[in-house]
Amino acid sequence: MATGSSEEVLAIDIQNLIDSLNQADNDGGAETAENEADKPVAETLPEQGSEVDLDVVELASTGEGLALRKGSKRVYVVPFAVPGDTVKAKVYRHLRDENYTVADFVSVVTPSPSRDDTRVQCKYFATCSGCQFQMLDYAHQLQLKKRIVEKAFRHFSQLPPELVPAVQDTIGSPLQYGYRTKLTPHFDGPQGWRRTKQPFESCPPIGFMPKGKRNTLDIEDCPIGTDAVRMGMKRERARMAVEYGKYTRGATILLRESTKRIPKKTIEGDSSMPQPPAEGEGEATKDSPPPAEDEVIRVETDEYTDLKTCVTDNNGKSTEYVGPYVFHNPAGSFFQNNNSILPVFTDYIRQHILPPTSSSPSSSSPDAPTTSTSTPPPQIKYLIDAYSGSGLFTITLSSLFSGGSVGIDISDASITYASQNASSNAIPPSRATFIAADAADLFTPEVRARYAPDETAVVLDPPRKGCDAGFLKQLLDLAPRRVVYVSCNVHTQARDVGVLVRGEVAGSGLKEDAATTAEGVVEGEKEKKKTRYAIESIRGFDFFPQTGHVESVAVLNRVDE
């Protein structure tokens, strides 16, 4: 397991299902010889394009149903189906080497007790590839996501079960529809992806990919988008209906919510209150005129009026508020996509970035660090925010770290905004610095000298592929006392946490380069004692209700033997 891709995750889920079916046969006294049990049972498979009835027995961590035909152990992968359903599905492809069949969902024959199709709020559900769970009660969705986190650590961490604590309940999103502050619908070119000089002769479908197909499904509206994003979608579709003749190629349309916050007291003329954001903040682009009244969603609270617009210019600026903090971002760069859960989420990271009592290491982990002397460890006073983006964690955690914080991200634009965000949130440069570089370049001699391991906590939030071997190796060399690993791909998170718990990259499936092999270790460090970590807690956060995605937070303590 190296990349945590959907294909890898699906393949492991399918193999586990096949293993458990074979096990059940063996336990039930089936006559198959043990080593024969693993072999696929030779059977005539239904023709491609034919329709079959399937009983859904499992939910894969990719959000699809894993189903069986009566009397067969052949596994079918069928979307928009949940355990307990019997569905009609159309055979799309038999993957002979991988030992499973992909099928398109057609209809429900007998619904699972957990299915209620009146919950579905989108007319494209079960065609569009975006959502998988709209037919399920929200509490049930959260349980399924907890299970996805559990399975990820079981299958991808390569850790014995006793080193993995029980996964805690998934924290839900306050908004379960209308939460996505960013959507990126697209349209294909007049000749698909082939180059052409001919413009469109009519308006192309604009939307998202249908499940299992590579064309574009025309989508008028997406109810998981915020009102501002949905308004932007309508506006962009209307624009394209007029301007399609200007396009000779396909494109992706950015729809990013931006907020201009106006304190109520200021509106009433109290000049002692903070003033509205400066010129240009929260507006469509720096150069564009102020948005028309019908392009603004007004949200009123007791303290302020939020004016929400939709930015479509990749080089424009978007503004979001998270509790008392304000974040400006390059509209086309990464920022978390569900603003409603961010106050809860950042509070959780604040509560966990330091050990439960900051003078003593956690005692709740299964492999708890031991205090060998009565001298308490020093206070943690430094923060390293790796993969910091525009500073979400550096800024929301800054007040906890008297020694200062450093954020690092590979995106120059995000780092420029991170420094400005620190200043917009009244954090002086002495308390928060930012570096635009590969995360692995963080571990300079200066950083090693400044960030005393016992006094340093690290928050990591890498992209879906997780950390690379070089970064993890250097993190182990630095040996910070506490690590909070945030992830949008729990499978690569589990793999990387496994590395930190074992204290070595070797055997993780991560590609090692010269810098991470024994020869690459800095001379004089070869004798250094191996650093390893214990997992204190693991918990999922539901940033994407109605979908099979889950974010996860793992809290780790260095083990001091």
Ligand X SMILES: C[S@@+](CC[C@H](N)C(=O)[O-])C[C@H]1O[C@@H](n2cnc3c(N)ncnc32)[C@H](O)[C@@H]1O
Tell which positions 335-354 bind ligand X, by CB under 6 A.
335-336
DSSP code, position 180 = B
Minimum distance of ligand X from residue 544's CB (angstroms): 13
3-state secondary structure 108-145: EEECCCCCCHHHCCCCCCCCECCCCCCCCCHHHHHHHH
Q: Which is nearer to ligand X, 72 or 411 (CB)?
A: 411
Q: Does 387 bind ligand X (CB under 6 A)?
A: yes
Tell me which of 134, 173, 216, 388 binds ligand X, using CB under 6 A: 388
Stretch that binds ligand X, among 144-152, 214-222, 257-265, 410-418 (CB under 6 A): 410-418
- What lies within 8 Å, CB to CB, of 88 at 6+ separation is 51, 52, 53, 54, 106, 107, 108, 109
For strands 533-541 and 551-558, give the pairing. Answer: antiparallel
Binding-residue pattern over the window 461 to 490 for ligand X, x denoting contact by CB under 6 A: xxx------------------------x--
Stretch that binds ligand X, among 162-170, 205-213, 267-275, 333-341 (CB under 6 A): 333-341
Tell me which of 133, 393, 533, 541 binds ligand X, using CB under 6 A: 393
Q: Which of 150, 281, 455, 551 is catalytic?
A: 551
Q: Does 64 bind ligand X (CB under 6 A)?
A: no
Cβ(439)–Cβ(473) below 8 Å: no
Stretch that binds ligand X, among 16-24, 59-67, 402-410, 536-544 (CB under 6 A): 402-410
Q: Would you list the DSSP string of 188-207?
A: -BTTBTS--SPPPSSPPP-E
- What's the CA gap between 215 and 530, in Å, rounded? 51
Tell me which of 9, 87, 126, 439 binds ligand X, using CB under 6 A: 439
Q: Does 312 bind ligand X (CB under 6 A)?
A: no
Q: Which is nearer to ligand X, 291 or 389 (CB)?
A: 389
Binding-residue pattern over the window 412 to 431 for ligand X, x denoting contact by CB under 6 A: --x-----------------
- What lies within 8 Å, CB to CB, of 98 at 6+ separation is 11, 14
- What lies within 8 Å, CB to CB, of 468 at 6+ separation is 440, 510, 511
Q: Which of 122, 257, 488, 536 is catalytic?
A: 488
| Annotation says 551 is catalytic | yes
Stretch that binds ligand X, among 189-197, 300-308, 314-322, 385-393 (CB under 6 A): 385-393
| Annotation says 47 is catalytic | no
Cβ(368)–Cβ(362) below 8 Å: yes
Tell me which of 43, 137, 347, 438 binds ligand X, using CB under 6 A: 438
For strands 551-558 and 482-487, give the pairing. Answer: antiparallel
Q: Does 410 bind ligand X (CB under 6 A)?
A: yes
Dihedral (Cα; 329, 333, 335, 337), 10-degree rounding: 120
Query: For residue 467, what are its two tokens?
Result: 């950390």
Integer Rg of the chain from CA: 26
| Residues identified as active-site | 488, 551
The site for ligand X (CB under 6 A) is made up of 334-336, 387-389, 392-393, 408-411, 414, 438-439, 461-463, 488
